[in-house]
Structure formats: C-alpha cells, structure tokens
C-alpha cells in the first residue's frame, strides 16, 4: 500500500548515544544540560527535557566501539503504524530492519545515503495535552531545555541527503546556503534536520530548544562553572533566525546546540537559497573557529586545552 501523504514523520522524538560509561554520561547530561531521567535495568538510561517519555537514550558502547551518536528517531504521523510504513517502504524498494526502542516497542531502522541511522517510531500523543508549563511535577528542576529540537550532520553530498529525506520520509526543504548546505523541516519550525558539505559525513550537533535568551544566559553561566567553554556563540543565525550557542560534547564527538527564537515558517513557505556569506551564518558577524567543523584529535585537543587551562586558573 503506497501512502497518499508522503510525509511520514511529524516530530523528532529522541536521539540515542553510545557512551563509554552510562552512569557518567547520565550525570553529565543532568549537570550540563538539565535533562532528567532514570537508569534502566538493562544498563541503558532514558532522559528527558520536561514531561515527554524521553528524548535521549544513553547506551553503553560495545567492545572496541567508539562513543558516538547511534541514531535519530522520528515520530510517525498520528495513526500511521509500523506495519503500514514497513509495507510502504518495501514497495519503494527501501532496505530496512525492525528493531525495538524503549517504551515504544517496535520501530523501523534504515540508513540514509551517508549511513546515518534513522529510526521511525509510532506517534503517541501525550496523555496530558495541556502545554508543558501547566503540568504539575515533583521531579522537574528549575533549569532544563524545553525540547529536543533538531540535528545537524556534516556530509560530502548535501543534495543527495536532501533528496533521500524528501523522497523517502517526506521531509521538506526549507532553505539552502549555496549548494552545499541544506535545512529541512517537518513542521512549521524552520528545521528539524540539516546537512553541511564539509567533505565527510559526521554528526555535527544535537540541538535543544530553550524558551528565550534569558535562559541561554543561565545555561552559559552554568556550563562555564562546569568547565565547558562555548565553541561558537552566542550568535544570531541569519538563515533560520535562531539565537544559538554551541559547545563540544567531546566525549561523544558532537556539539550540543542550545537555541531559541527560531523562524516559524509560513504555510506556503518557498525555499530560499541564501548566498554563502557570513551574514547567513551569523548576523552579528563572528564566524566559527576552524575547529568547529572538525572532530579529529587535534581539533578536540585544542579546544579542551583552552577549556582546562582557563578552568584550572585561580
Ligand atoms: Fe542547529
């Protein structure tokens, strides 16, 4: 059965990250980013921003496996079952496998052309449909992101990646910067996914949304107290409009972005190709350091040395 509406996904639900030590990573995400959650009997951990079931799975690395982003999971459109999507993908000639994810059960996993693992889970509407700020709680702390917002990958072929996500999963192209960087959306927010051509595939960042600029100040003061320096920002992206700051989660080879005030798209949005100039990256002018697109040992070392040399100063 081919589905009429080719948009399969409506939401980024969670990321899963292989970590060397689940207890250490749990504590780190709790301390640095304000996520909360529970260790699981199987040795993994589930974490969340607010009242969602979870937005992050921490899983132990297998032997000789490096800590890294394992996959990104998207929620399917309401009413769309795993069985229907499996049939749809089969008819498209796509290769995929069934897997299980925490709490949601059966899911589908498939690889994009770069080999990034994409997971699809059935949509579960929240039991309490009120805005999150109206939910009573005895566990949520004062400082936490509002939600998991988007992921951004490096690639050697942005058009090929964009073509796959639009054709297979029904993502829509929002904007390009030049020909080598593309942003995609599945709801009115400017992007849930992006690819930047830097000549090689790699996760670049996982982004968490904050309420506003004031919260960003809180986070930045907070992570500074924990010895983390920002790599780029605070800044105002031209394309996408968001206020953003990035710091390196060097333990698992990616950056964390915190952001707010992202562009909300018109229903009839037409993709814009922005010129590849500094203004599209940061209307305030400061461009990222060269290490920002690198994950090799030297780049990480340069940033870590500056963090620790300052951090240990009296
Ligand atoms: Fe981002």
pLDDT at position 7 is 92
| Whether pLDDT at 143 is above 70 | yes
8: left (phi over 0), alpha (psi -120 to 50) or beta: alpha
**9-129 has which fold?**
2,3-Dihydroxybiphenyl 1,2-Dioxygenase; domain 1 (3.10.180)
Distance 264 CA to ligand 1 centre (A): 15
CA distances from 104 to 13, 75, 82, 108, 235 (A): 11, 10, 11, 11, 37
Dihedral pair phi/psi, residue 117, rounded to 5°? -85, 125
The predicted-structure confidence for 90-123, as pLDDT tens digits, reads as follows: 999 999 999 999 999 999 999 999 999 999 999 9
pLDDT at position 312 is 57
* Among 75-79, 223-227, 301-305, the least confident range: 301-305
CB 158 within 8 A of CB 112: no
| CATH 3.10.180.10 residue ranges for the chain | 9-129, 147-311
111: left (phi over 0), alpha (psi -120 to 50) or beta: beta
CB 7 within 8 A of CB 123: no
Q: Which residue, 92, 122, 93, is CA-closest to 106? A: 122
pLDDT at position 193 is 98
Mean of all residue pLDDT scores within the chain: 93
Average pLDDT (267-285) is 93
| Whether pLDDT at 49 is above 60 | yes
Tell me the DSSP string of 9-41.
Answer: EEEEEEEEEEES-HHHHHHHHHHHH--EEEE-T
> Of residues 312 and 178, which shows the higher confidence score?
178
Distance 90 CA to ligand 1 centre (A): 32
Distance 135 CA to ligand 1 centre (A): 28
Which band of pLDDT confidence, cut at 50, 70 and 90, is reported for residue 59?
A: very high
Distance 1 CA to ligand 1 centre (A): 35
In terms of Cβ atoms closer than 10 Å to its own Cβ (0-12, 13-18, 19+), residue 226 is exposed
Q: What is the three-class DSSP state of 134?
A: helix
Distance 258 CA to ligand 1 centre (A): 8
Distance 291 CA to ligand 1 centre (A): 16
Q: What does the radius of gyration of the chain's CA atoms come to, in whole angstroms?
A: 19
Tell me if the domain spanning 147-311 has CATH number 3.10.180.10: yes
Parallel, antiparallel, or unpaired: how do β-strands 45-48 and 68-76 relate?
Answer: unpaired
| Whether pLDDT at 309 is above 60 | no
Distance 151 CA to ligand 1 centre (A): 6
* Lookup: tokens for 282: 């940061």
Distance 257 CA to ligand 1 centre (A): 6
CB 97 within 8 A of CB 109: yes
Distance 93 CA to ligand 1 centre (A): 31
Distance 235 CA to ligand 1 centre (A): 12
The predicted-structure confidence for 5-46, as pLDDT tens digits, reads as follows: 789 999 999 999 999 999 999 999 999 999 999 999 999 999
Distance in angstroms (rounded) separating the CA atoms of residues 112 and 42: 28
Distance 314 CA to ligand 1 centre (A): 34
Q: Which residue, 75, 9, 11, is CA-closest to 209? A: 11
pLDDT at position 314 is 39
Which band of pLDDT confidence, cut at 50, 70 and 90, is reported for residue 171?
A: very high
> Of residues 89 and 300, which shows the higher confidence score?
89
Which band of pLDDT confidence, cut at 50, 70 and 90, is reported for residue 63?
A: confident
Average pLDDT (228-253) is 95
Beta-bridge partners for 19: 60
103 CB neighbour count, 10 Å cutoff = 13
Distance 152 CA to ligand 1 centre (A): 6
> Of residues 35 and 127, which shows the higher confidence score?
35
pLDDT above 70 coverage of the chain, percent: 96
pLDDT at position 307 is 64
């Amino acid at each position: 059965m081919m589905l009429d509406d080719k948009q399969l996904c409506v939401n980024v639900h969670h990321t899963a990250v292989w970590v060397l030590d689940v207890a250490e990573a749990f504590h780190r995400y709790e301390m640095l980013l304000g996520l909360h959650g529970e260790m699981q009997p199987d040795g993994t951990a589930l974490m969340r921003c607010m009242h969602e079931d979870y937005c992050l799975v921490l899983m132990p690395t297998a032997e000789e496996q490096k800590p890294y982003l394992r996959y990104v999971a998207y929620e399917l459109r309401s009413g769309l079952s795993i069985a229907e999507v499996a049939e749809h993908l089969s008819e498209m000639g796509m290769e995929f496998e069934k897997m299980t994810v925490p709490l949601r059960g059966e899911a589908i996993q498939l690889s994009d052309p770069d080999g990034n693992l994409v997971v699809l889970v059935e949509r579960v509407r929240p039991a309490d449909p009120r805005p999150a700020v109206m939910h009573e709680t005895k566990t949520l702390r004062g400082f936490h992101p509002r939600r998991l917002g988007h992921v951004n990958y490096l690639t050697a072929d942005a058009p090929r990646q964009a073509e796959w996500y639009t054709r297979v999963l029904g993502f829509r192209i929002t904007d390009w910067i030049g020909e080598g960087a593309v942003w995609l959306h599945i709801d009115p927010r400017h992007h849930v996914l992006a690819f930047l051509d830097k000549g090689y595939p790699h996760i670049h960042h996982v982004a968490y949304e904050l309420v506003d600029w004031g919260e960003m100040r809180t986070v930045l003061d907070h992570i500074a107290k924990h010895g983390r320096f920002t790599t780029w920002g605070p800044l105002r992206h031209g394309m996408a409009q968001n206020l953003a700051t990035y710091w390196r989660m060097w333990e698992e080879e990616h950056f964390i972005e915190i952001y707010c005030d992202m562009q909300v798209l018109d229903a009839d949005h037409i993709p814009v190709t922005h010129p590849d100039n500094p203004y599209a990256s940061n209307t305030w002018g400061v461009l990222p350091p060269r290490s920002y697109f690198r994950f090799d040992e030297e780049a990480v070392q340069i940033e870590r040395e500056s963090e620790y040399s300052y951090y240990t100063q009296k």
